[in-house]
């Protein structure tokens, strides 16, 4: 009987561009646009700058570009740096369960490997679709237990997605892809101990992207890995999850995989977005006055109720994972973009006052990320809002035009409007691109 790794390897090595449904190719291209904008913007912020500096410190020329820079390095080093840059703004995509980010590990690996293998746009689309599918299958097989035990899904499941993406780019056969998956499991790591004033959270997808290419390259060179990486007695599922669902790994392998990708309009952790939508809805109500607010009662589903409660962040990294801070700035400024997560707002007395009013309660709500907020004012006015599907979700999606506005806001200040326009056009028509390297040259800083 075939192992899960063998079944998955057979599926992904046989996956062809012509077989992908239109909604998958379009979704992959939307995410490519989003990834490039976030990575370009993130490359110029502290954690992205440190990752770029590290990549260049490693030395040596290579085929893969550091996004937001003018240097080219090895595939593994570029994937590492670009994954961190693309996770540096808290604006990267999310899966429907709000458990992980597809693009930092998968897209960073695929793009670096695409440059190293002189791949074209159609090859890239297939690799991205395969990598995202692999990552989500792994997550569904292990979560929510994996997350609840303290393991971060983005790197832990992402390493398998980045490995499949790289394996497709490097044209591994099924046997070598099995070995690559085995080695990916050996490198799976990432902890949820990442919330706070440090850059810790930004780091996590870097090793996953790098390890994916490492696994694929080692397999291509003949290094063999275990075929029992998922279901083995000491395999990945047994190690990382107490409530395993291994059937999620091979369910529906013969058909189209519904790849649902959600996007972020706000510059903070995704499970906070519902609360921001609540705050923005309340802000629009007649008579609302943030100066009169005396209490903010926040009800959350048990899946996320214990997270994001810090009301006194000291850095923007910490503010971006603070629900009280995010609600406060949304109520005061009507936005929750990168500009709102500033040192000025962290010191702002009005923001501090509203943040301190937040009180949490765990209740039964329709979804894990659902939030209900009740605001009471000194004049007796009471406002309530509940959001189950935040802006950017499948049910409340961002349009192509909205994603383009987001991309332009992040990329144009870094590379200039002309190159940003060209880069966006290539991303949304990547199937026509003959050389991925030519596309990534547009990310060079002006």
Burial (CB count <10 Å: 0-12, 13-18, 19+), residue 87: buried
Q: In whole angstroms, what is the distance from residue 125 CA to residue 142 CA? A: 26
Beta bridge partners of 360: 298
Residue 380 to residue 376: CA distance in whole angstroms: 7
Q: Are 408 and 420 in contact (CB under 8 A)?
A: yes
Both tokens assigned to 64: 């893969």
Instruction: Calculate the average pLDDT of the chain.
Output: 96
pLDDT given for residue 217 in this prediction:
98
- Residue 126 has a pLDDT of 98
Residues composing the chain: 446
Domain made up of 4-265+397-443: CATH architecture: Orthogonal Bundle (1.10)
Q: Single out the residue of 116, 397, 425 nearest to residue 260, CA to CA.
A: 397
* Mean pLDDT value of segment 190-213: 94
The proportion of the chain whose per-residue pLDDT surpasses 90, expressed as a percent, equals: 93
CA angle at 201 for the pair 90 and 79, rounded to the nearest 5° = 85
pLDDT digits (tens, 9 = 90+) for 100-141: 999 999 999 999 999 999 999 999 999 999 999 999 999 999
Fold of domain 270-387: 60s Ribosomal Protein L30; Chain: A; (3.30.1330)
Residue with tokens 């599907």: 389
% of residues, the chain, pLDDT over 70:
100
CB–CB of 177/15 below 8 Å? Answer: no
| Domain regions of the chain by residue span | 4-265+397-443, 270-387
What confidence score (pLDDT) does residue 195 get? 81
pTM of the model: 0.93
Q: Identify the band that residue 98 occupies on the pLDDT scale cut at 50, 70 and 90.
A: low
> What Cα–Cα distance (Å) separates residue 296 from each residue in 9, 146, 160, 284?
50, 31, 41, 16
pLDDT tens per residue, range 310-319: 999 999 989 9
């Amino acid at each position: 009987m075939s192992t899960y790794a063998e079944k998955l390897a057979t599926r992904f090595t046989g996956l062809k561009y012509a077989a992908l449904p239109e909604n998958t190719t379009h979704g992959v291209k939307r995410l490519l646009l989003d990834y490039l904008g976030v990575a370009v913007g993130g490359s110029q912020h502290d954690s992205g700058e440190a990752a770029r500096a590290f990549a260049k410190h490693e030395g040596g020329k290579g085929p893969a570009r550091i996004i937001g820079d003018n240097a080219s390095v090895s595939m593994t080093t570029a994937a590492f740096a670009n994954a961190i840059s693309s996770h540096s703004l808290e604006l990267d995509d999310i899966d429907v369960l709000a458990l992980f980010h597809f693009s930092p590990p998968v897209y960073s690996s695929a793009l670096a490997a695409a440059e190293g293998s002189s791949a074209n746009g159609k090859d890239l689309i297939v690799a991205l679709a395969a990598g995202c599918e692999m990552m989500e299958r792994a997550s569904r097989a292990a979560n929510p237990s994996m997350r609840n035990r303290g393991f971060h899904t983005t790197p832990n499941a992402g390493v398998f997605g980045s490995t499949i993406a790289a394996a497709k780019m490097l044209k591994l056969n099924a046997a070598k892809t099995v070995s690559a998956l085995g080695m990916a499991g050996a490198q799976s790591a990432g902890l949820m101990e990442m919330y706070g004033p440090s850059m810790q959270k930004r780091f996590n997808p870097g090793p996953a992207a790098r390890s994916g290419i490492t696994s694929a390259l080692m397999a291509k060179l003949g290094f063999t890995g275990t075929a029992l990486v998922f279901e083995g007695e000491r395999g990945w599922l047994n190690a990382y999850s107490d409530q395993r669902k291994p059937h999620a790994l091979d369910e529906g392998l013969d058909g189209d995989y519904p790849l649902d990708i959600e996007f972020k309009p706000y510059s903070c952790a995704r499970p906070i977005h519902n609360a921001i939508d609540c705050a923005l809805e309340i802000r629009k109500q007649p008579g609302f006055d943030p100066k009169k607010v005396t209490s903010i009662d926040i009800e959350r589903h048990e899946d996320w109720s214990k997270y994001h409660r810090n009301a006194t962040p000291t850095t923007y990294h910490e503010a971006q994972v603070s629900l009280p801070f995010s609600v406060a700035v949304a109520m005061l400024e009507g936005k929750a973009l990168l500009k709102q997560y500033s040192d000025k707002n962290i010191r702002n007395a009005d923001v501090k006052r509203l943040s301190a009013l937040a009180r949490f309660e765990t209740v039964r709500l329709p979804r894990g990320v659902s939030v209900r907020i009740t605001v009471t004012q000194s004049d007796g006015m009471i406002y309530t809002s509940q959001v189950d599907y935040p802006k950017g979700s499948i049910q409340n999606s961002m349009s192509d035009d909205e994603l383009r506005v987001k991309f332009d806001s992040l990329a144009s200040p870094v590379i200039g409007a002309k190159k940003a326009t060209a880069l966006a056009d290539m991303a949304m028509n990547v199937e026509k691109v003959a050389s991925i390297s030519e596309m990534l040259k547009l990310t060079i800083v002006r």
